[in-house]
Amino acid sequence: MAMEVRMSEATRDKSAQPASVHGRASVVGPPNRPEPDRVPEHKPPSGPEPQRVAGPFSGLLVIDLTHVLNGPFGTTILGDLGARVIKIERPGHGDDTRTFGPFFMGQSLYFSFVNRGKESIALNLKAEADRAVFLNMVRQADILTENFRPGAMDRLGCSFGELSKINPRLIYASSTGFGQTGPLRTFPAYDTIVQGMSSLMSLTGFPDGPPTRVGTSVSDLVGGTFMFCGIAAALYAREKTGVGCHVDVSMLDGTFCFLEQGLMHYAATGKPAERIGNRHPYMTPFDTFEASDRQFVICCGNDHLFGELCKAIGRPELTVDARFLTDPDRNKNAAALKIEMEVALKRQPAEHWLKVIHEAGVPVGPILDSAEAAELPQIKARNMWIEAGGVKMPGNPVKLSGYDDPPVRAGAPALDQHGPALRAEFAAVDSAGLTDGFHLMVDALKLNGLDTMYGVAGIPVTDLARLAQAEGIRYVGFRHEQSAGNAAAIAGYLTRKPGVCLTVSAPGFLNGLTALANATTNGFPMIQISGSSDRAKVDLQRGAYEELDQMNAAKPFAKAAYRVDRVEDIGLGVARALRTALSGRPGGVYLDLPGSVLNATLDGRAGARSLIRVVDPEPRQPPAPEAVQRALDLLARAERPLIVLGKGAAYAQVDAGIREFIEKTGIPFQPMSMAKGLLPDDHPQSTMATRSYALANADMVMLVGARLNWLLAHGESPPWSRDARFVQLDIDPTEIDSNRAIDAPVVGDIASSVSALLAALAPGQIKPRASWVEALAQKKRHNVERMAQHLAAKHTPMGFFGALGAIKEVLADKPDVFVVNEGANTLDLARDVLEMRTPRKRIDSGTWGVMGIGMGYAIGASVVSGNPVVAIEGDSAFGFSGMEIETICRYHLPIVTVVFNNGGIYRGDGVNLAGGADPSPTTLMRGARYDKLIEAFGGASYYAVDPPGLANALSAALAAGEPALIDCAIDPSIGTESGHIGKLNPRSAVSVGPHV
């Protein structure tokens, strides 16, 4: 105590905190300020994590199953001394203390104080895949700690006996309330229970007050401390014996042996000791004393010091007082002595006495509150009030010469923060510590958050699909690879994470390749992973099973094609595929995996090291400031500006920014098909209902993530004005001037470009002419009225408009429903009729106008979102992927397929010009009942012949939330050949007979 005071004064001048320790006012430097009544998500600090500290325990691996306080306190010391501590927590909830206050910077300080520097993984030890990871950790661990009630670990099959079988060197430490043996072994224990039961509570407090709990959870902490001691001892023993042992410590044992004189008294007299306040039972004066302002402590251990003390406080006569001559005398008359001393002490403040008594050589010390203690220069000098993860907390109490004791340490982890990395590191290895290509592939995907796979199983990827599913990747098995690929592609579009499609060699690969090519064309991130045959045979064309040079076949159809030729390159292959698929303009990447690589083995640790977690796979690419300025200057000069929103704008997921730009500038906008809903279709600035007028008359066009390809007539006149000028926002510089001169290219990712435009936009800088806005509005009113008439048509058989009018009504109050759409008339008319209100809910044939995407897209959208899907399919379009309704039923997906059944491609009344029995090239089966198909798989079937019937069927199907198919009988004679793009359809110059 005396030393402490001297140190605090000696360091006062040098200290950045100009503090005396004796007054609250001197306490500077903010403590962690609690944020009351909130249970926030634990946010780990950003920035690089401080490295684990090197210490005497560096190299030791601790699996920490402890929770709450006692065990975590002990394992924190292990970590402070260099051990690597992996905290295993319950999935979803984690350590109970994560929800305990006080909170600071989004973290529970209760949790952070005793879990700093640890790694966290959420594992369910009852689930096979998690258990495999756990057992692999056990195989490699030095120490396992747990503080469950005895029996709990046994029930999990994780007793010391069981685990030491797979790792005899394992030190297994159990820290419990009452220990592994004895009648109370399974009793629940909390600190206060143990303080009471150990008698500590009866020894604490003043004689005239009730038994009192010590002001911290000392019984808990004692358990953790002794656990640490036990582990240290067991480590030393293991050096000699080569085997680990079971460390069994208890809070009660630990507290009991801390009772010191409480038990001495009982041992000597047979009577319990009594609580005596702050006094020492055998030394006097050794107590708290009252100065004029506050209490402080004097500890006087012998007669000589007593003499010095009396002189120092100006009461030398007390030394000759018969009541106080010897220590036993003073013990007997402690109360009287205290009164005599306080007569003097109360005349001066504590600060005065601390100095005077200390100078007399008598141990003396202040009584600080916790804020003062934390700011004590001595605490600082010893690195005992450190920073970890941005919060203040007590440091490492065990100092060792030759080892660093840094004042800034790694913080406590968020729940499962290190889960993906740890799962990869402790990937399944066999008993010889080997892993293989299958496992590495699964681990590489999981490490990068690729958690779903769409595919068709078979040689050589069956085990890959099986293992992926076992390891927690969702595997969705399809009937045809093209649909699996389409599902992966749309998943990529919706989530900005590449969708993964798994195919078998040669034919399966080729089936999937269509989807990969389509994804690339549409800018959807996707990875097709395909097994392939033995390279040695394929390359010499020796006729291998499913022989095909797949990588080279894929190249022209994908953004990139890679092959993994060595098992140790799997991590690299996945990393390259992921980054290529996502960065720049997203697209499809092919990854070739020869069967021989999948079943090649590798040392488990080397395998784990070979995996790569891709950092920032989709880096922002902000546009040049001058490009942004040029675009704004140009737009400011426009009289009749128009914004065209493309799929790229929808993909960017900067919906609010795009809306803000459009609304701030007042520029009318035209959404491309899949950008519908980015702003609601009924937005006053939408030109949906007056597209041709808008295109023909705009004098300035701003393309946002929309390419000037065939879908926009290559920017040519007509439909565009010859004099229109163009601004184009695109990630890919080669899109600029691809069809027409672009006056202001803004090359960058859409998110960055939109925010740069918003930041540079001056209020009122851009303003379309009122006459332009009014002309558009007028045209719109006219067209909307005309459309309403079409939609109200209730012919039987139904026309397209009648059917779509019914669907439009049912979907009007269901903005979360995805609309998937393909066909010719079915596609074109549904696009115009069905209003979209939320972004990325309309998915259709896209850039290629491809048929066959319907069921795959519907399944992908449903799997990633869980939302209901309505797939509106031409009868021809449906046929391309119709078998996937079995997939839909097998996975119970809430997808309602509506087949617009007009008996053919475009229409159902085609004529065989040869007059033979065969149907015409555009004819499909008359009167087919597609609803019967889904009955085979237990789905709900409906047959609708008029708009009210269709509306009822759709409402019922959506309400059920189950797979359903509605066959919708459409007049076979009203379709237009090629729908809205008939002009792209070459017609024979020499008549081939009557056209319909």
Q: Is 263 exposed, middle or buried (0-12, 13-18, 19+ CB in 10 A)?
A: middle
Q: Taking the complex as a whole, how short is the minimal distance between the CB of residue 969 and ligand TPW, in angstroms? A: 13
Q: H/E element holding 507? A: helix 507-522
Which range binds Mg ion by CB under 5 A, 272-280, 681-689, 727-735, 868-876? Answer: 868-876
- What sign has the CA pseudo-torsion 51, 56, 58, 62? negative
Facing residues of 729 across strands?
704, 746
Q: Taking the complex as a whole, how short is the minimal distance between the CB of residue 857 and Mg ion, in angstroms? A: 18
Q: In this structure, what token pair is assigned to residue 617?
A: 């796979």
Q: Taking the complex as a whole, how short is the minimal distance between the CB of residue 611 and ligand TPW, in angstroms? A: 38
Whole-number Å distance between alpha carbons of 420 and 159 = 26
Binding ligand TPW by CB under 6 A: which of 506, 850, 870, 944?
850
Which range binds ligand TPW by CB under 6 A, 479-487, 549-557, 681-689, 823-831? Answer: 823-831
- 851 contact choice in ligand TPW, Mg ion, none (CB below 5 to 8 Å, kind-dependent): ligand TPW
Binding ligand TPW by CB under 6 A: which of 167, 255, 826, 862?
826
**Residues in the chain, total:** 996
Spatial CB neighbours of 476, under 8 Å, sequence gap ≥ 6: 452, 453, 454, 455, 484, 487, 859, 863, 887, 891
Facing residues of 248 across strands?
174
Q: H/E element holding 565? A: none
Query: Among residues 51 and 985, whose Cβ is nearest to ligand TPW?
Result: 985
Q: Is 455 in the site for Mg ion (CB under 5 A)?
A: no
Which range binds ligand TPW by CB under 6 A, 210-218, 703-711, 813-821, 846-854? Answer: 846-854
Q: Which residue has the tokens 């001037």?
A: 737
Whole-number Å distance between alpha carbons of 617 and 718 = 41
Q: What amino acid is encoded at 820 in this protein? A: V
Instruction: Name which of residues 876 to 905 contact Mg ion (CB under 5 A).
Output: 876, 902
Q: Taking the complex as a whole, how short is the minimal distance between the CB of residue 900 and ligand TPW, in angstroms? A: 5
Query: Among residues 164 and 922, whose Cβ is nearest to ligand TPW?
Result: 922
Q: Is 854 in the site for Mg ion (CB under 5 A)?
A: no
Kindly state the number of chain residues that form the binding site for Mg ion, as judged by CB under 5 A: 4
Name the residue whose CB lies closest to ligand TPW. Answer: 874
Q: Is 622 exposed, middle or buried (0-12, 13-18, 19+ CB in 10 A)?
A: middle
Binding ligand TPW by CB under 6 A: which of 144, 727, 877, 957?
877
Kindly state the number of chain residues that form the binding site for ligand TPW, as judged by CB under 6 A: 18
From the list 253, 571, 622, 578, the residue with the least C-alpha distance to 424 is 571
Q: What amino acid is encoded at 418 in this protein? A: H
Q: Taking the complex as a whole, how short is the minimal distance between the CB of residue 424 and ligand TPW, in angstroms? A: 39
Query: Among residues 747 and 851, whose Cβ is nearest to ligand TPW?
Result: 851
Q: Is 825 in the site for ligand TPW (CB under 6 A)?
A: yes
Q: What amino acid is encoded at 624 in this protein? A: A
Query: Among residues 3 and 925, whose Cβ is nearest to Mg ion?
Result: 925
Under a CB-based contact definition with an 8 Å cutoff, are residues 200 and 219 in contact? yes
Q: Taking the complex as a whole, how short is the minimal distance between the CB of residue 797 and ligand TPW, in angstroms? A: 13
Q: Is 875 in the site for Mg ion (CB under 5 A)?
A: yes
Facing residues of 87 across strands?
64, 120
Query: Among residues 308 and 977, whose Cβ is nearest to ligand TPW?
Result: 977
Instruction: Name which of residues 893 to 912 contact ligand TPW (CB under 6 A).
Output: 900, 902, 905-906
Q: Is 823 in the site for ligand TPW (CB under 6 A)?
A: yes
C-alpha radius of gyration, the chain, whole number = 38
Binding ligand TPW by CB under 6 A: which of 874, 882, 939, 947?
874
Under a CB-based contact definition with an 8 Å cutoff, are residues 501 and 515 in contact? yes
Q: Is 610 in the site for Mg ion (CB under 5 A)?
A: no
Binding ligand TPW by CB under 6 A: which of 851, 859, 863, 969?
851
Q: Which residue has the tokens 């109050």?
A: 813
Q: Is 854 in the site for ligand TPW (CB under 6 A)?
A: no
Q: 854-865 and 481-495 are packed helices; what angle lies between their axes, rounded to 10 degrees?
A: 50
- 849 contact choice in Mg ion, ligand TPW, none (CB below 5 to 8 Å, kind-dependent): ligand TPW
Edge-to-edge strands of the sheet including 61-64? 119-122, 84-89, 61-64, 143-146, 171-176, 246-250
Q: Taking the complex as a whole, how short is the minimal distance between the CB of residue 979 and ligand TPW, in angstroms? A: 6
Q: Is 874 in the site for Mg ion (CB under 5 A)?
A: yes
Q: Is 515 in the site for ligand TPW (CB under 6 A)?
A: no
Q: Is 803 in the site for ligand TPW (CB under 6 A)?
A: no
Q: Taking the complex as a whole, how short is the minimal distance between the CB of residue 994 and Mg ion, in angstroms? A: 20
Q: Is 975 in the site for ligand TPW (CB under 6 A)?
A: yes
Query: Among residues 797 and 849, whose Cβ is nearest to ligand TPW?
Result: 849
Q: Taking the complex as a whole, how short is the minimal distance between the CB of residue 885 and Mg ion, in angstroms? A: 18
Whole-number Å distance between alpha carbons of 649 and 751 = 8
- 686 contact choice in Mg ion, ligand TPW, none (CB below 5 to 8 Å, kind-dependent): none
Whole-number Å distance between alpha carbons of 644 and 671 = 6
Which range binds ligand TPW by CB under 6 A, 628-636, 681-689, 784-792, 874-882? Answer: 874-882
Q: Taking the complex as a whole, how short is the minimal distance between the CB of residue 984 and ligand TPW, in angstroms? A: 10
Q: In this structure, what token pair is assigned to residue 910?
A: 């085609």
From the list 290, 269, 281, 298, the residue with the least C-alpha distance to 332 is 281
- 852 contact choice in ligand TPW, Mg ion, none (CB below 5 to 8 Å, kind-dependent): ligand TPW
From the list 504, 529, 652, 512, the residue with the least C-alpha distance to 589 is 529
- 55 contact choice in Mg ion, ligand TPW, none (CB below 5 to 8 Å, kind-dependent): none
Residue 472: other Cβ atoms inside 10 A: 13
Whole-number Å distance between alpha carbons of 53 and 752 = 39
Q: Is 979 in the site for ligand TPW (CB under 6 A)?
A: yes
Whole-number Å distance between alpha carbons of 102 and 32 = 9
Facing residues of 455 across strands?
477, 502
Which range binds ligand TPW by CB under 6 A, 502-510, 583-591, 872-880, 939-947? Answer: 872-880
- 454 contact choice in ligand TPW, Mg ion, none (CB below 5 to 8 Å, kind-dependent): none
Q: Is 601 exposed, middle or buried (0-12, 13-18, 19+ CB in 10 A)?
A: middle
Q: Taking the complex as a whole, how short is the minimal distance between the CB of residue 963 and ligand TPW, in angstroms? A: 21
From the list 677, 36, 120, the residue with the least C-alpha distance to 421 is 120
Instruction: Name which of residues 899 to 938 contact Mg ion (CB under 5 A).
Output: 902
- 901 contact choice in ligand TPW, Mg ion, none (CB below 5 to 8 Å, kind-dependent): none
Q: Taking the complex as a whole, how short is the minimal distance between the CB of residue 753 and ligand TPW, in angstroms? A: 32
Instruction: Name which of residues 904 to 963 contact ligand TPW (CB under 6 A).
Output: 905-906
Under a CB-based contact definition with an 8 Å cutoff, are residues 539 and 512 in contact? no
Residue 739 phi, psi (nearest 5): -135, -25
Query: Among residues 112 and 825, whose Cβ is nearest to ligand TPW?
Result: 825
Whole-number Å distance between alpha carbons of 581 and 588 = 6
User: DSSP alpha helices (H): ranges in 398-436?
Assistant: 419-425
Q: Taking the complex as a whole, how short is the minimal distance between the CB of residue 128 and ligand TPW, in angstroms? A: 42
Query: Among residues 522 and 876, whose Cβ is nearest to Mg ion?
Result: 876
Query: Among residues 690 and 825, whose Cβ is nearest to ligand TPW?
Result: 825
From the list 181, 23, 190, 34, the residue with the least C-alpha distance to 106 is 34
Under a CB-based contact definition with an 8 Å cutoff, are residues 218 and 278 in contact? no
Q: Is 799 in the site for Mg ion (CB under 5 A)?
A: no
Q: Taking the complex as a whole, how short is the minimal distance between the CB of residue 791 and ligand TPW, in angstroms? A: 17
Strand 385-388 vs strand 474-477: parallel, antiparallel, or unpaired? unpaired
Q: 481-495 and 507-522 are packed helices; what angle lies between their axes, rounded to 10 degrees?
A: 30
Residues that bind Mg ion (CB under 5 A): 874-876, 902
Residues that bind ligand TPW (CB under 6 A): 823-826, 849-852, 874-877, 900, 902, 905-906, 975, 979
